[in-house]
Amino acid sequence: MTATSAAEGIAAFLDLSGPVADALASGGPVVALESTLVTHGLPYPANLEVARAAEEAVRAEGATPATVAIRDGRVLVGLGPTEMESLATVRGARKASRPTLAASLVAGGWAGTTVSATMLAAAAAGIRLFATGGIGGVHRGAFGGAGEATLDVSSDLGELARTPVAVVCAGPKAILDVPLTLEYLETQGVPVVAIGTDEMPGFYSRRSGIPAPASVADEAEAARLVAAHDRLGLGSGVLLCAPVPAADELPLEVARAAIARATAEADAAGVHGPALTPWLLARVAAITDGASIRANTALIVNDARVAARIAVALAPLRPEVRS
Ligand code: PSU
Ligand code: MN
Q: Which domains does the chain have, with CATH numbers?
A: 3-317 (3.40.1790.10)
Instruction: Decide if 173 is catalytic.
Output: yes
Residue 322: the pLDDT is 45
Report helix, strand or coil for 171: coil
Pairing of strands 166-169, 238-241: parallel
Residue 146: the pLDDT is 78
pLDDT band, residue 3 (cuts 50/70/90) = confident
The letter for the amino acid at 177 is D
Which of 100, 140, 277 for mutating ligand 1's site (highest number of atoms within 8 Å of CB)? Answer: 277
How does pLDDT run across 159-215, given as a tens digit for each residue? Answer: 999 999 999 999 999 999 999 999 999 999 999 999 999 999 999 999 999 999 999
Report helix, strand or coil for 64: strand
The whole-number average pLDDT for the span 223-243 is 97
User: Which residues contact ligand 1 via a Cβ below 6 A?
Assistant: 34, 36-37, 40-41, 114-115, 132-134, 136, 154-156, 274, 277, 281, 296, 300
Instruction: Give the atom of ligand 1 at the shortest distance from the alpha carbon of 135.
Output: 12
For residue 274, which of 43, 117, 169 has the smallest C-alpha distance? Answer: 117
Among all bound ligands, the one having the nearest atom to the CA of 116 is 1
Catalytic residue among 34, 61, 159, 219: 34
Listed in order, strand segments (DSSP E) in 4-86 are 14-16, 30-33, 64-71, 74-77
Catalytic residue among 95, 159, 173, 249: 173
Among all bound ligands, the one having the nearest atom to the CA of 98 is 1
How does pLDDT run across 293-311, given as a tens digit for each residue? Answer: 999 999 999 999 999 999 9
How does pLDDT run across 70-90, given as a tens digit for each residue? Answer: 999 999 999 999 999 999 999
The whole-number average pLDDT for the span 30-52 is 98
| Residues 135, 119 contacting (CB under 8 angstroms) | no
Ligand 1 centre to CA of 189 (Å) is 21
Task: Pick the residue whose CA is nearest to atom 19 on ligand 1.
Answer: 136
Average pLDDT of the chain to the nearest whole number: 96
Residue 323: the pLDDT is 41
Q: Percent of the chain, pLDDT > 90?
A: 95
Q: What are the φ and ψ backbone dihedral angles of 263, each rounded to 5 degrees?
A: -65, -45
Which of 37, 163, 271, 284 for mutating ligand 1's site (highest number of atoms within 8 Å of CB)? Answer: 37
Q: pTM value? A: 0.97
Task: Pick the residue whose CA is nearest to atom 5 on ligand 1.
Answer: 37
Residue 319: the pLDDT is 52
